Amino acid sequence: MRFRDLKSFLQSGRRLRPGHLTIPHAKAPLPAQYDRIHETEGGFKYRVQELDDGDDAVRLKRFMIEHFYPQAPVPTAINLLQGHPRYPYLDEELDMFLNSGMNISIKDAADELIGGHLNACWERDDDYDAFEVSPVDWLNAGDEIATDASDGDRRLHGIIWRDYWFQLTYHVAQLYMKRREKRWALYNNCNYVLPHLRGHKISAVTFPLFYDRIRRLDGIWTGLVSLMLTN
C-alpha cells in the first residue's frame, strides 16, 4: 500500500479517536489457576498468582502506573504519563491488559506487590483485512496524523502515536494468526519487578506460565518486533 493510501486508511472510521485506545479487547477463555509461593536459594519468598478481575487487578494497575511506566523506554520517550489522567488513553490501555485473562501479580511475604506482568490477548477476526504493510510506513504515517490532530499538544501527540503502535501490533497479530491458522495471540507488554529484587530471577518462574497458557489455547506468542522478523 502506498504511503498516501495508508495514511488515509489510518485516518478512516474509528482509527483516529484522539486521546483514546481504539483496538478491541478480548479475554482468553482460561480460568486463573496458578497461585503458588516460591522461595529462592537465599530464602526470599514471593507469591506468583495468575490474576483475574477484582481488587488485585486495581492494585496492579496502580503499581504499573507508579513503577513501570515512568521507566519503560517508549512510554517515557513519548511522555505518556504526562497526558494522564487528562486523557483517558492510559487507563484504557491498562484495562485492555487487565481484562485479557493473561496477567500475573508478584507479591512478597507481606502481600505487597513487588512486580507483575500485563499482556493483551486477541482472538482472530476472520472479517479483519490483515493486509501486508510496512511497519515503518505505518508508524511514520501515524506520526504525521498525530502531528496534525494534536494541534501542538505534545502529550496528545504521543498518545495518538501510541494508539497507532497498538493498532499496528493488532494488525500484525491478525496477519500471523491467519497465516498460521491460530485462533489466539498473546501480546507480551508490561513486565516489571522492583529493581532491588531482580537478582532473584523471578521471570524464570513467571514467563513459562504465559507459554503454557498460550499453548493451551493453541495460540501464538506475539511481540511486534518478533512478528515483523518472523516469516
- Give the chain's radius of gyration (CA, Å): 18
CB atoms within 10 A of CB 182: 18
Collapse the DSSP code of 189 into the 3-class scheme (helix H, G, I; strand E, B; otherwise coil) and give the result.
strand
> CA 171, CA 166: separation in Å to the nearest integer?
8
Bridge partners (DSSP) listed for residue 123? 184
Full DSSP string of 113-143 = EEEEEEEEEEE--TTS------HHHHHHHHH
Q: In what order do the strands lie in the sheet with 103-108?
A: 35-39, 45-51, 103-108, 113-123, 184-193, 220-222
Cβ neighbours for 171, distance < 8 A, ≥ 6 positions apart:
130, 133, 138
Domains of the chain: 3-229 (3.40.630.30)
One pLDDT digit (tens) per residue for the chain, 231 residues: 899 999 999 998 888 999 999 999 899 888 888 999 999 988 999 999 998 767 788 999 999 999 999 999 999 999 999 999 999 999 999 999 999 988 999 999 999 999 999 999 999 999 999 999 999 999 999 999 999 999 999 999 999 999 999 999 999 999 999 999 999 999 988 899 999 999 999 999 998 988 888 889 889 987 655 544 443
